[in-house]
Structure 1
Amino acid sequence: MHMDERRAIEWDCTRLIHQYVNLNDAQDWHAVAALYTPDARFARPSKPDEFIEGREAILASFTARPPRAQRHVIANTVVDVEGPATARAFSVIVLYMGDVPEGGGLPVQDAKSPLIGTFTDLIVNTPDGWRFKQRVGGLDFRP
């Protein structure tokens, strides 16, 4: 594989990871779910051994959660290209969360915040572009 092609895949996959956290923070769950393949597997950082199977189930798991104020920060992303249609990625994730006051204004940060963890991804090239085939979270510290 030519170096330019490898770098383009690395960039596309990194952009997918960044797009995911931005859409997640916007709580645009349909757009978040669309970043997964139809048969994807997802495990939240808080439950790394519990897989949610399939895009529709992933969407349902997000829409079932009560709304919260949140901001994800993703860092240290490294993408390893396996081939023209497959890559693996590792990222560190920091999650700030809290409750929005009834009168509006800035959210009050949750005492368990921030959470520090990781995502390990299998990303594949589809007719719709690069998508998560498997996304496994994990926590580095107990809240």
Structure 2
Amino acid sequence: MNAAEVAEIERACARLVLEFAKFNDDLDHEALAGLFVEDCVFARPLDPAHPYYGRDKVHAIFRDRKARLTRHVMTNILITVLSPTEAKGNSYVTMMSAADPDAPWPREGEGVFIGSFDDLFVKTGNGWKFKSRIGNVALYQGGHVPAIPVPSIEETGVPPQ
């Protein structure tokens, strides 16, 4: 691969990182799920020990949770091209949220969470997609860390063998 091809892959994968944040904040769950391949793996930053398997399960996480106002700020996006059809990446996420997405703006957030995502990207017939996206939270300030119940196998899907 030449430098222009590498740069094009890096840009396409970095755009997925930014689209994930935008679609998440806009509550566009269908578009967010469309960023993943069918047989993907996704682990939420506040619950990395319980990954979800499959695009339909990722879609359900976001679609079925109570709506909140969120803002995800993505930084330090570093993409490493592995081949013409595969890349990996790491990015930092800073997130704030508030309970009522329809309350008048501006409003006080419920704390600041800082973490990261480790990503694996693959090129498909429909462009670049997430194959896996594993999040974690390293720091938080203010508010509280929500207690997330352990999901069932029906919720997470079955890991590939």
Q: TM-score, normalised by structure 2?
A: 0.83
Runs of 4+, deviation exceeding 2 Å: 99-102, 107-111
How many residues get paired? 141
Equivalence map 1:41-60=2 (5 Å): 41-60=41-60
Equivalence map 1:10-49=2 (5 Å): 10-49=10-49
Contact 1:98–1:107, Cα closer than 8 Å, also in 2: no
2:61 partner amino acid = S
Cα distance in 1 for partners of 2:100, 2:105 equals 7
Residue 136 of structure 1 pairs with residue 131 of structure 2: no
Cα distance in 2 for partners of 1:7, 1:63 equals 33
SS of aligned partner of 1:109: coil
Residue 3 of structure 1 pairs with residue 6 of structure 2: no
Paired position in structure 2 for 1:125: 123
Name structure 2 gaps, 5 residues minimum.
146-161
- How far has the Cα of 1:61 moved from its partner? 1.2
Task: Provide the identity percentage.
Answer: 34
Cα distance in 2 for partners of 1:131, 1:25 equals 19
Equivalence map 1:77-96=2 (5 Å): 77-96=77-96
CA 101–41 in structure 1, closer or farther in 2 if over 3 Å, else same: closer
Deviations 1:3-41 (A, max 9, x none): 110011001101111111111100100000000000000
Report the RMSD for the aligned CA atoms in angstroms: 1.4
Cα distance in 2 for partners of 1:69, 1:83 equals 38
2:23 partner amino acid = L
Cα distance in 2 for partners of 1:76, 1:22 equals 17
Contact 2:68–2:101, Cα closer than 8 Å, also in 1: no
1:38 partner amino acid = E
Name structure 1 gaps, 5 residues minimum.
none
